[in-house]
């Protein structure tokens, strides 16, 4: 019988889910985000992978009859012909993309979520020839409802007589996956930083295909993704988990792979936020950030992923509302502060025309970020900002104003009128409008939108694709593979529980607890842990104390405590989000309980728990609604559940840190010292060892010989400066001087630069006849004092026989390479934490019992490849 409970120790109860201070900022317009979705078909237990049905895309374009007295249908006119038939006003409205997130109809008391196309909205689409609309979570609450909504929007665009030319809409959405998603009925992918932790282009493309396939089934033809910002600023308040990595090459590699997957289902993509939002400490939703970097600096980091995306056929680039004073030097007076500000990228001709068009040669669409964000709205007027954006090179003005009622249409009229006057006065050349409209229509033609028919889509397909069983299974694999084990002292991971054990699950917010519980239920269902193991989910909050939790910890054999710190201020020792996990770890250590810290937000807090024996990062803090099932009906954040499963070894992980983790000093992230470098990660359940020592079987007495040490990919330590100390058995051997190392008593010391080769050559001389072990110990210490040593119990360094030399020389000869005598050890020693030399080293020790899991990576890759191959073959049938 499963015993479980949800206990809330809070005194003052925050709202369910993450609080405002830890809640991630959502996408372009600040709307609340929903879960990401995937796109594959459900499989029953009796189906093989090859029999899983996958909905095919339409293979032929259907024509639509022309209606008089209108000029022409889109089928009968090419793009240039459609443009020629447009009035100036139609061209203007075609480059506008508003939202209808909420609407207050006449006679209603307040605005409500738009889930159907009301008559007033249909009339607005009839009156204005908008090129597209953007949807938000408020619009897409269920699969059938979303399908009917998109069909109705297209009906309004195609059928209404005011829509001259009957051009279907671009229907866009922010479906990034992870903390920014909209579809509540789909599958919540773990997010970009989680995918960055896998560093797998296959996984990135798989995630993109899931997104693209679901959006296509729902009739959504534009995804404002992927995020190509390089998150090289740990204090970034808006990007964070939305970025793949702090390495621009990884961002480019994974971003293009995801982009390709989305486009495979004829969904256009918009890479964002050009030229880069990763190195800001201000959120452009609420302020106007500034990145004071030269072009060369930007080119080496922020710009790289976007350039690669352009080279690989990205449909759109979304601009950033950010100042780049070394690129765009022109200033204007802010309407908000009255002070001079630099023109942000969205309004900058130097950036959009000079850099994107002229230098990159980009011919795709440039779309603005939402113009209602404070960075634009507070500093510029609506009409002024829209006109400046178009003049700078923007092709689609996203959300030029807030539309919440019929009365608000007057605001859109003012914007249209101002642009039309600019054309009539010569301030804006009509050819500039023509170029943008042509790019939009060309994209619509390329992605099958121009000749779209509502009958091309079916509700049955949408219901089969969105949130399918196979999607959820793939999501689970991706989320688990991303989990990164950062610390594993005393080999306490994976947790091993026996009959009657009790696991305490501690979370900071209500929506975290169901994810923890789901992980435990899945472990039982999969037979990983016994049915008799009990668990209890307990919430802590800003009023909780360790004394309240001690009784719970005392009753447990194992403890998992969530750490969720979304911003630097929360890293301070006296802030409850840090204080409670720290005190839980301390008390668990004191009472000999096995405890693991699960970092679920940006992973920088993993450096904040030096006393913790086990720390894991999962890169996603989206929780879920309470459920008793193993497969929740609604979309949910898979990261927390995956972390629990990896802790008990229910699922395999291949995650490595996708960003550098700074040291935390007095609650602040260090600007210089790195606690854990990018690519660091620990693994278990793989026999691969971390270090190889090759020695000859025998050597002549008083003759120098070489020992070869190899430690490629040794826990990521070789990525930074580090020191290797090798203890020599000086009773039987002496070390020979060499320029690559120094000798200090019994120790040979290698001071290694960052990214130095993993091969070390050590030269020794056997002075005493007989069998002896030349190397007694190997100690590795990194630049911040973490220490590893060979596991003493192994004691498996090869002995060497020192034999009498054939001549009577007493002087050492030149070193001899192992050659034919060099033989790999049968057992390669494992690096372990230095336990008996604490007085000699820093107390900050790195866990080391995990081992590099190339096999796990291979198995995961093979599994995903087979799944992908199965449904791709079905798609081609």
- Give 62-75 as a DSSP string: PP----TTSS--TT
Buried b (16+ CB within 10 A) or exposed e, 492-513: bbbbebeeebbbbbbbbbbbbb
Percent of the chain, pLDDT > 90?
64
If you average pLDDT over residues 594-619, what whole number do you get?
97
Write the DSSP assignment of 152-213 as a string of letters.
HHHHHHHH-TTSTT-PPPEEEE---BTTBB--TTS-----HHHHHHHT-HHHHHHHHHHHHH
Burial of 531 (0-12, 13-18, 19+ CB in 10 A): exposed
- Fold classification of 692-850 (topology level): Immunoglobulin-like (2.60.40)
Where does residue 665 fall: left (phi above 0), alpha (psi -120 to 50 degrees), or beta otherwise?
Answer: beta
Write the DSSP assignment of 65-134 as a string of letters.
---TTSS--TTTS-HHHHHHT--HHHHHHHTEE-B-SEEB-TT-SS-EE--S--HHHHHHHHHS--SEEE
- In this structure, what are the phi and psi dihedrals at residue 793, rounded to the nearest 5 degrees? -65, -25
Could you tell me where in the chain the CATH 3.40.50.1700 domains are found? 6-23+483-676
Task: Place 233 in a pLDDT band, splitting at 50, 70 and 90.
Answer: confident
Q: What is the pLDDT of residues 176-229, one digit of tens each?
A: 999 999 999 998 899 999 999 999 999 999 999 999 999 999 999 999 999 999
Asked whether the beta carbons of 29 and 438 are under 8 A apart, the reply is: no
Instruction: Select which of 174, 369, 473, 605 is catalytic.
Output: 369
Radius of gyration of the chain (CA): 31
Could you tell me where in the chain the CATH 3.20.20.300 domains are found? 96-401
Q: H helices within 270-344, ranges in order?
A: 295-300, 303-311
Q: What is the pLDDT of residues 462-496, one digit of tens each?
A: 999 999 998 899 999 999 999 999 999 989 999 99
The question of whether 369 is a catalytic residue gets the answer: yes
If you average pLDDT over residues 441-463, what whole number do you get?
93
Q: Residue 788's pLDDT is what? A: 62
Task: Place 810 in a pLDDT band, splitting at 50, 70 and 90.
Answer: very low
Of 727, 731, 687, the closest CA to residue 709 belongs to: 727
Alpha carbons within 13 angstroms on the beta-carbon side of residue 761 total 12
Going 622 to 625 to 628 to 633, the CA torsion angle's sign is negative
Asked whether the beta carbons of 482 and 618 are under 8 A apart, the reply is: yes
Task: Place 632 in a pLDDT band, splitting at 50, 70 and 90.
Answer: confident
Residue with tokens 């060369």: 296
Of 290, 318, 297, the closest CA to residue 306 belongs to: 318
Percent of the chain, pLDDT > 70?
78
Q: What is the pLDDT of residues 711-765, one digit of tens each?
A: 654 545 555 677 888 999 999 999 999 999 999 999 999 988 866 766 788 999 9
Residue with tokens 């249909």: 122
Q: Residue 4's pLDDT is what? A: 38
> Which residues on adjacent β-strands are paired with residue 228?
none
Angle between helices 639-647 and 513-525 (to 10 degrees): 50
If you average pLDDT over residues 134-156, what whole number do you get?
96
Angle between helices 303-311 and 248-263 (to 10 degrees): 40
Please give the order of strands across the beta sheet that includes 170-173.
132-135, 170-173, 222-223, 268-274, 316-319, 365-367
Selected residue with higher pLDDT from 848 and 472: 472
Per-residue pLDDT at 12 exceeds 60: no
Predicted TM-score of the model (pTM): 0.75
Burial of 16 (0-12, 13-18, 19+ CB in 10 A): exposed
CATH, domain 96-401, list 3.40.1400.10, 3.30.1490.20, 3.20.20.300, 2.40.50.140? 3.20.20.300
Instruction: Select which of 94, 273, 285, 558 is catalytic.
Output: 285
Task: Place 708 in a pLDDT band, splitting at 50, 70 and 90.
Answer: confident
Strands of 530-613, DSSP E = 534-539, 558-563, 594-599
Per-residue pLDDT at 277 exceeds 70: yes
Selected residue with higher pLDDT from 849 and 712: 712
- Fold classification of 6-23+483-676 (topology level): Rossmann fold (3.40.50)
Strands of 631-768, DSSP E = 661-665, 668-676, 692-696, 698-700, 704-710, 722-728, 733-735, 742-744, 747-752, 759-766
Task: Place 243 in a pLDDT band, splitting at 50, 70 and 90.
Answer: very high
Going 78 to 83 to 87 to 93, the CA torsion angle's sign is positive
Widest CA span in the chain: 112
Task: Place 505 in a pLDDT band, splitting at 50, 70 and 90.
Answer: very high
The question of whether 722 is a catalytic residue gets the answer: no
Across all residues in the chain, what is the average pLDDT?
Answer: 82
Joined tokens for residue 661 = 């983790």
Could you tell me where in the chain the CATH 2.60.40.10 domains are found? 692-850
């Amino acid at each position: 019988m499963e015993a479980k409970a949800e206990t809330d120790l809070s005194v003052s109860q925050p709202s369910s889910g993450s609080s405002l201070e830890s809640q991630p900022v959502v996408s372009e317009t600040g709307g609340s985000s929903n879960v990401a979705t995937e796109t594959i078909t459900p499989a029953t237990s009796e189906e093989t992978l090859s029999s899983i049905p996958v909905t095919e895309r339409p293979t032929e374009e259907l024509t639509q009859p022309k209606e008089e007295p209108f000029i022409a249908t889109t089928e009968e006119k090419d793009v240039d012909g459609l443009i020629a038939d447009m009035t100036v006003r139609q061209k203007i409205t075609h480059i506008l993309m508003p939202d209808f997130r909420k609407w207050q109809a006449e006679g209603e008391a307040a605005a409500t979520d738009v889930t159907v196309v009301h008559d007033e909205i249909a009339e607005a689409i009839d009156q204005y020839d908008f090129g597209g609309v953007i949807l938000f979570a408020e619009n897409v609450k269920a699969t059938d409802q979303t399908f009917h909504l998109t069909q109705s929007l297209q009906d309004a665009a195609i059928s209404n007589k005011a829509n001259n030319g009957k051009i279907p809409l671009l229907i866009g959405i922010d479906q990034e996956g992870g903390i920014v998603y909209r579809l509540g009925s789909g599958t919540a992918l773990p997010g970009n930083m989680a995918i960055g932790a896998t560093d797998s282009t296959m996984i990135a493309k798989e995630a993109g295909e899931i997104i693209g396939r679901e959006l296509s089934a729902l009739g959504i033809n534009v995804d404002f993704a992927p995020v190509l910002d390089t998150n090289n600023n740990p204090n970034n308040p808006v990007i964070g988990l939305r970025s793949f990595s702090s390495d621009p090459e990884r961002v480019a590699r994974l971003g293009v792979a995801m982009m390709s997957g989305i486009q495979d289902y004829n969904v256009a993509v918009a890479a964002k936020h050009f030229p880069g939002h990763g190195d800001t400490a201000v959120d452009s939703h609420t302020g106007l950030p500034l990145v004071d970097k030269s072009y060369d600096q930007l080119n080496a980091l922020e710009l790289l992923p976007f350039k690669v995306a352009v080279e690989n056929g990205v449909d759109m680039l979304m601009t950033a509302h950010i100042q780049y004073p070394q690129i765009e030097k022109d200033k204007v007076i802010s309407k908000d502060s009255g002070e001079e500000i630099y023109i942000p990228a969205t309004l900058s001709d130097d950036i959009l025309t000079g850099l994107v068009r002229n230098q990159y040669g980009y011919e795709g669409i440039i779309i603005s970020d939402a113009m209602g964000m404070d960075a634009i709205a507070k500093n510029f007027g609506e009409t002024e900002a829209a006109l400046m954006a178009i003049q700078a090179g923007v092709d689609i003005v996203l959300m030029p104003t807030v539309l919440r009622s019929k009365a608000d249409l007057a605001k859109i009229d003012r914007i249209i009128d101002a642009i039309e006057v600019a054309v009539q006065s010569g301030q804006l050349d009509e050819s500039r409008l023509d170029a943008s409209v042509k790019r939009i229509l060309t994209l619509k033609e390329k992605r099958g939108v121009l000749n779209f028919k509502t009958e091309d889509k079916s509700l049955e397909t949408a219901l089969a694709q969105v949130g399918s069983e196979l999607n959820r299974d793939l999501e689970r694999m991706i989320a688990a593979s991303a989990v990164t084990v950062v610390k594993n002292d005393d080999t306490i991971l994976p947790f091993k529980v026996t009959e009657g054990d009790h696991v305490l699950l501690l979370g900071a917010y209500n929506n975290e607890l169901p994810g923890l519980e789901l992980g435990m239920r899945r472990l039982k269902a999969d037979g990983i842990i016994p049915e008799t193991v009990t668990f209890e989910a307990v919430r802590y909050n800003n009023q909780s104390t360790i004394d309240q939790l001690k009784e719970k910890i005392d009753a447990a054999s194992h403890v998992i405590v969530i750490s969720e710190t979304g911003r630097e201020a929360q890293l301070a020792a006296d802030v409850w989000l840090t204080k409670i996990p720290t005190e839980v770890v301390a008390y668990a250590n004191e009472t000999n309980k096995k405890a693991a810290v699960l970092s679920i937000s940006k992973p920088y807090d993993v450096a904040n728990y030096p006393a913790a024996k086990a720390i894991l990062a999962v890169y996603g803090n989206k929780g879920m609604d309470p459920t008793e099932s193993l497969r929740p009906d609604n979309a949910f954040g898979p990261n927390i559940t995956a972390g629990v499963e990896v802790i008990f070894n229910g699922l395999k992980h291949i995650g490595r840190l996708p960003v550098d983790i700074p040291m935390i000093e007095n609650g602040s992230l260090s600007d210089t010292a790195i606690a854990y470098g990018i690519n660091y990660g620990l693994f278990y359940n793989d026999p691969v060892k971390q270090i190889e020592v090759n020695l000859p079987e025998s050597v002549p007495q008083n003759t120098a010989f070489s020992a070869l040490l190899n430690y490629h990919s040794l826990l990521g330590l070789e990525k930074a400066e580090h020191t290797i100390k090798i203890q020599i058995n000086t009773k039987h051997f002496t070390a020979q001087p060499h320029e690559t190392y120094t000798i200090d008593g019994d120790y040979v010391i290698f001071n290694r630069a960052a990214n130095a080769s993993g091969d070390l050559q050590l030269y020794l001389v056997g002075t005493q006849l007989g069998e002896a072990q030349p190397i007694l110990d190997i100690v590795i210490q990194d630049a911040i004092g973490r220490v590893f040593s060979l596991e003493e119990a192994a004691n498996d360094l090869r002995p060497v026989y020192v034999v009498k030399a054939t001549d009577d020389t007493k002087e050492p000869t030149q070193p001899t390479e192992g050659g034919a005598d060099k033989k790999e050890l049968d057992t390669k020693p494992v690096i372990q934490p230095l336990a008996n030399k604490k007085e000699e080293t820093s107390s900050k020790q790195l866990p080391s019992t995990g081992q590099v899991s190339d096999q796990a990576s291979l198995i995961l890759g093979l599994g995903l490849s087979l799944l992908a191959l199965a449904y791709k073959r079905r798609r081609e049938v």
